[in-house]
């Protein structure tokens, strides 16, 4: 998509993200998963922290959370969510490859397709390597993503996302399987505000491709589930949550 960069998604969706995507990624299950892999009071890095929808609950559960996001607009929304008791998240404005904060971290989380916001395979590979360099020995990288649909047709599509008396939101997308790329716009028409464009773009990868990237960075697959709550992963699953553990199965590095 011409003109699209690492800030486009966050800047386009920050004001509506919590309303539109409140149901993606089970918050309670995510917190429980991260406490389990990081340990009580563990230090956790979240990539693409956004509005803090997951990071703030993780911090409230006692984890020491550092979140990175390339969008100032998203981080501003996160700052508004800081708790009266002072519970908060340390934030870094930057990209999740070249500007990761210093470790060591006990675990890292990249939730709901955020890894696919890196738009080429080289960047995705480097992300695994950079995360590995910030984790303590034996640390975990938790990746939540879709399982791509091999049967999805290529080409463009226009559909209605939502409609009310004063607002219509259209979804416009372009799916290119040979490039493993899907891009789109949500085009929002409102009676009072005119037209608002909300662009998005992903470079998706199947679980086995992510496993290869992880292995090259020194990770092994510890477990794979269909969701954060631990539902069994099988050939019919359309999402996966994979816990990558740094080091080989015998504990060596």
What pLDDT does residue 50 have?
Answer: 94
CATH number for the domain that contains residue 170: 2.20.25.570
Task: Retrieve residue 47's tokens.
Answer: 């990539």
144 contacts: CB under 8 Å, gap ≥ 6 = 25, 109, 110, 111, 112, 113, 228, 239, 240, 241
* 198 and 132 in a common domain: no
Tell me, yes or no, whether 191 and 218 share the same domain: no
Instruction: List 221's β-bridge partners, or say none.
Output: 244
Verify that 212 and 142 share a domain, yes or no. Answer: yes
230/149 Cα distance (integer angstroms): 21
Average predicted confidence (pLDDT) for the chain: 93
Distance CA 191, CA 194 (A): 6
CA atoms within 13 A on the CB side of 237: 21
CATH number at residue 210: 3.40.50.150
Q: Where are the alpha helices (DSSP H) in the chain?
A: 8-13, 17-20, 27-38, 55-60, 72-80, 121-134, 207-216
Q: Tokens 């991260």 identify what position?
A: 34
Q: Tally the domains of the chain.
A: 2
Q: What percent of the chain has pLDDT over 90?
A: 84
Supply the range of the domain harboring residue 174. Answer: 155-202
Work out the average pLDDT over 69-97: 87
- Is residue 145 scored above 60 in pLDDT? yes
15 lies in some domain: yes
2 — pLDDT class (breaks 50, 70, 90): confident
Q: What is the pTM of this model?
A: 0.92
Choice between 248 and 177, residue whose per-residue pLDDT is larger: 177
Do 95 and 184 have their domain in common?
no
Q: What is the mean pLDDT of residues 33-52?
A: 97
Q: Which residue has the higher pLDDT, 64 or 5?
A: 64
93 and 216 fall within a common domain: yes
User: Do residues 170 and 68 share a domain?
Assistant: no
Q: Strands, DSSP E only, in 165-216?
A: 167-176, 181-190, 194-203
- What integer pLDDT is reported at residue 85 of this predicted model? 62
Whether 90 has a pLDDT exceeding 80, the answer reads yes
Could you tell me if 213 and 188 lie in one domain? no
């Amino acid at each position: 998509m011409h003109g699209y960069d690492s800030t486009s998604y966050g800047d386009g969706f920050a004001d509506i993200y919590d309303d539109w995507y409140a149901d993606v990624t089970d918050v309670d299950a995510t917190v429980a998963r991260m406490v389990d892999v990081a340990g009580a009071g563990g230090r956790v890095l979240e990539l693409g922290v956004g509005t803090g929808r997951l990071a703030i609950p993780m911090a409230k559960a006692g984890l020491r959370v550092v979140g990175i996001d390339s969008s100032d607009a998203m981080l501003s929304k996160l700052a508004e969510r800081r708790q009266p008791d002072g519970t908060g998240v340390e934030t870094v404005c930057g990209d999740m490859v070249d500007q990761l904060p210093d470790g060591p971290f006990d675990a890292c989380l990249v939730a709901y397709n955020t890894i696919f916001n890196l738009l080429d395979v080289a960047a995705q590979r480097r992300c695994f390597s950079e995360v590995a360099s910030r984790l303590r020995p034996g640390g975990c990288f938790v990746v939540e993503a879709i399982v791509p649909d091999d049967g999805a047709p290529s080409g463009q599509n226009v559909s209605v996302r939502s409609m009310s008396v004063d607002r219509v939101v259209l979804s416009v997308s372009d799916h290119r399987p040979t490039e493993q790329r899907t891009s789109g716009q949500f085009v929002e028409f409102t009676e009072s505000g005119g037209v608002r464009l909300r662009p998005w773009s992903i470079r998706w990868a199947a679980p086995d491709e992510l496993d290869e990237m992880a292995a090259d960075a020194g990770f092994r697959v510890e477990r794979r589930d269909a969701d954060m709550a631990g539902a069994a992963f099988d050939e019919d699953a359309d999402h996966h949550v994979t816990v990558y553990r740094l080091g080989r199965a015998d504990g060596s590095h």
